[in-house]
Amino acid sequence: MSEAQASGAIEVLPLTPTLGAELRGVDLAALDDGRAAAVRDAFERYGAILVRGQRLGADDLVAFSRRFGALDEAPLMENGRTAVPGYPEIYVVSNVLGADGKPIGSLGAGEAVWHTDMSYLAAPPRASLLYALEVPPAGGDTWLCSMAAALEALPGDLRRALDGRMIKHDGTYNSGGYLRAGVRVDDNPETCEGTPHPAICRHPAGGPDVLYLGRRRNAYVMGLPLAESEALLDRVWAHACRAENTYKHRWRVGDVLMWDNRVTMHRRDPFDAAARRVMHRTQIKGAEAPAPA
């Protein structure tokens, strides 16, 4: 038994040198204010937290998520329902079919490419949380990328090319590549719907500056000829998502993984559609637009 376990303190174990921490010795369904503050501090410091072995009812999940701020209501899922019945804040991420033959959730079994959640909004969500109820035997891993590490590793010429620039974040397609409801098809990055944000942002918790890329599809560096924008973004993305900037999470039932959308990107590996994967997801509202560094 470690000193932290013996004293009842929360153990904080970094996941990688650049991103994330696993918290041990904590029951998220039974947090007092002091331990909740310690969890929040770890989240702000490391940009992502992992807590294994949790048993959370819907009330517990919502109550813990609210420790970080107001929650967004879940969007309309692919089955036409909005969320877990009675819990509008909980979104079901799953490939499982219900008794009626329709999906019980959204996002299926395919790959989700690198992205930051809903960066096309003027005030994107602060954080996202996934709680694992069922996991496949292989695949479905979630990857995180440190955008502070990505910025630090950029060659000097790329850093200078992005200084003071704004990137338009496309709102046409979701992370699975599907057209968003009510949005017109437009694959021209200069004219598609979206919101510009600074390419290099101030860290919201006082850490090092971060890249803010959102997603690659239809992204556009404002003010540049389209060909120059495409070439610049291709180079930046190639550097940003290198292995040394990332963490790969292999899920276990009972895992809670929460990441700061302001300082990370994330993606998901595909998995066998015949296997079952069920996650409950919450999202903490954003209060402000990303601020330029």
Burial 39-76 (b: 16+ CB within 10 A, else e): beebbbebbbbbbbebebebebbbebbeebeebbebee
pTM over 0.85: yes
**What is the rounded CA–CA span in Å between residue 86 and residue 67?**
20
Please give the residue range of the domain that contains residue 20.
1-285
Structural domain includes residue 291: no
The model's pLDDT over 58-67, given as tens digits with 9 standing for 90+, comes to 999 999 999 9
**What is the rounded CA–CA span in Å between residue 49 and residue 247?**
12
What pLDDT does residue 179 have? 81
Structural domain includes residue 193: yes
Structural domain includes residue 11: yes
Structural domain includes residue 292: no
Structural domain includes residue 280: yes
For residue 37, give every residue at least 6 positions away whose Cβ sits within 8 Å of its Cβ, in sequence order, or none.
none
Burial class (CB in 10 A: 0-12, 13-18, 19+), 177: exposed
Structural domain includes residue 290: no
What pLDDT does residue 77 have? 63
Structural domain includes residue 128: yes
What pLDDT does residue 175 have? 60
Q: Which CATH number characterizes residue 19's domain? A: 3.60.130.10
Number of domains making up the chain: 1
What pLDDT does residue 211 have? 98
Mean pLDDT, consecutive 10-residue segments, the chain of 293 residues? 57 97 98 97 97 98 98 75 82 92 90 94 97 98 98 96 97 75 88 95 94 96 98 97 96 98 97 97 96 96
The model's pLDDT over 258-282, given as tens digits with 9 standing for 90+, comes to 999 999 999 999 999 999 999 999 9
**What is the rounded CA–CA span in Å between residue 122 and residue 133?**
32
Structural domain includes residue 92: yes
What pLDDT does residue 113 have? 92
